[in-house]
Structure 1
């Protein structure tokens, strides 16, 4: 598989101080511009499967992609940002929010001519359903599960997979996929709509490029990981 891991566009949390953090922010006007440029770039790909996190900022970013290039969207419950959908900021913020429910996600894509396939674990109660904040150990375990899901689903098929996810969880995934290649903790901030391309040949992962923002004009490059 050819796997493109893409961070969502700038969210309201990215643009505000941490103490103003909200649990499920939308993307900003600048984020919408970033998404437009991203969608023009992804339109040059022959995408076989488009995956998105259930967070609002990822779904809104993905919507620009499918508006430009209509196709089926797969909403995976387990590619959300590290920590999950929690309220507040800082290490003591552990109260969980609901996250978007199944009907709300379906509504985001209802005007499109193609299906939206949502993991069955996402219900009307919300994809996070008020669970407490995920720990770092749980996030790293989840990264192993998602890596295996990608391999089991697409393997060495040669298919082009695009996944719109998040900075911290992208770092968790790359730590699993590229443990023998690089220390991702030493990589700088992953920019909004930044693109990382990997290839899986059936045995191992190969990194083609990391955190590319070449599709964006310099005035739109943002990268605060919040």
Structure 2
């Protein structure tokens, strides 16, 4: 079983898009739950929109915007092989509780100056939980502009900080930003993210 918390205390980093895509990737491998820990309920709204349009998301979605996520999730986590937690911006206690429940944290960060400037509180929160639970964490760059040096420069800066940066990154493409409310039929780079998190080998096409 794997429990993944998708985090960043700053809003607008791509947490919900990442959570929904990762849950879709995991659901292809086993029974999966997406826990929406944000009181705004974006993941729940996404799933509802898909189902109202006659589609299926392929995994369970539950609202869990509470400060004791780590306790509540124990009641049903055994029913799933994978649990993804979409955490809120700005709510330190809920984010911390989700991290306490997780085996792995994915810190999603767009490579912009303001996002990099405001990432430290989340890193400090992760470090606090890491010391207590042995949490493993990775940094995932999102909304990377391929024609810009932002992503490359950010990778260099994070390497100097010795942060565990995933090789896969999510480009700034409409296929991701416009996917809200739609079933995910093409995971794009999120399939590579899932493979990295699970330690799976990349498929070689000849």
Range of TM-score over shorter length: 0.3 to 0.5
Could you say which structure has the higher helix fraction? 2
Q: How does the TM-score come out when normalised to structure 2? A: 0.37
